[in-house]
């Protein structure tokens, strides 16, 4: 439990500098429990605090954990160069509170993207030591064959990689489509693996991270949601996969 002045609460939630937050409060734009707050030095308990700014409802969150259904032609960068950044799909407050993508999807890759302002969460989710599987649906230029699936499961050699990279699982789901599960997270990995196996990736979507699926979230392209504790638990690694080897 913690109590903070309202100006600091608003600042922590991404409503601008402390001066800007004071101006919002003193201008009568902030209400709690339906009552306009008249002084920026008023102190409130942050846990479960609900408030409105410009009549828009908010709930205090120490950190935000977000799932976004990334559409094509958006960059996973705070400083995009050739396409709009994914942060432009979120409320402006999230930029102020330093929300960042967890890892990256190519600008033309769609699907499930996690975002947060919790550095420890971002680091943990990005670490290859966590062995968190990521599920992709790849559309291929040439038809999918059993030989292609077998090769991706056996492992293909990529340039600048010391050893072949293999899919955890791989299965054909249509004549020109396969589902491939990886845990390494290398640069352009799915596309490069398909190229090394003699095919070409013409479209790619990430459909799941761990046990959290895009289908269960029911997000349309370009929309997002907060993740609750139960959904965050689905991102935990499988203990069977990270158990240390017997000695």
Lookup result for tokens 């640069």 = 187
Who contacts 106 (Cβ-Cβ below 8 Å, separation ≥6)?
188, 191, 204
Using CA atoms, how far apart are residues 115 and 13, in angstroms rounded to an integer?
A: 15
The catalytic position among 106, 108, 118, 238 is: 106
- 3-state SS, the chain, equals CCEEEHHHHHHHCCCCCHHHHHHHHHCCCEEECCEECCCCCCEEECCCCEEEECCEEEECCCCCEEEEEECCCCECCCCCCCCCEHHHHCCHHHHHCCCEECCCCCCCCEEEEEEECCHHHHHHHHCHHHCCCEEEEEEECCCCCHHHHHHHHHCECCCCCCCCECCCEEEEEECCEEEEEECCCCCCHHHHHHHHCCCCEEEEEEEEECCEEHHHHCCCCCCEEECCHHHHHCCCCCHHHHCCCCC
Catalytic residue list contains 238: no
Residues with a known catalytic role? 106
């Amino acid at each position: 439990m913690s109590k903070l002045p309202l100006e600091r609460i608003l600042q922590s939630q991404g409503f601008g500098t402390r001066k800007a937050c004071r101006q919002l409060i003193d201008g009568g734009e902030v209400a709690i429990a339906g009552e306009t707050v008249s002084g920026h030095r008023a102190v409130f308990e942050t846990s479960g605090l609900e408030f409105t700014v410009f009549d828009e409802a908010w709930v205090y969150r120490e950190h935000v954990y977000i799932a976004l259904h990334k559409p094509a032609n958006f960059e996973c960068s705070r400083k995009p160069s050739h396409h709009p950044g994914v942060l432009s799909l979120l409320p402006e407050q999230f930029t102020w509170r330093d929300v960042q993508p967890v890892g990256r999807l190519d600008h033309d890759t769609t699907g499930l993207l996690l975002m947060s302002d919790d550095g420890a969460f971002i680091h943990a989710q990005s670490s290859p030591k966590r062995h968190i599987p990521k599920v992709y649906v790849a559309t291929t230029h040439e038809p999918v064959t059993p030989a292609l699936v077998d090769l991706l499961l056996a492992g293909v050699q990529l340039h600048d990689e010391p050893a072949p990279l293999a899919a955890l699982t791989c299965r054909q789901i249509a004549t020109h489509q396969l589902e491939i599960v990886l845990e390494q997270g290398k640069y352009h990995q799915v596309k490069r693996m398909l190229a090394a196996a003699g095919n070409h990736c013409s479209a790619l979507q990430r459909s799941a991270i761990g046990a959290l699926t895009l289908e269960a979230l029911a997000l349309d392209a370009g929309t997002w949601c907060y993740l609750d504790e139960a959904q965050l638990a689905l991102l935990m690694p499988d203990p069977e996969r990270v158990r240390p080897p017997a000695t």
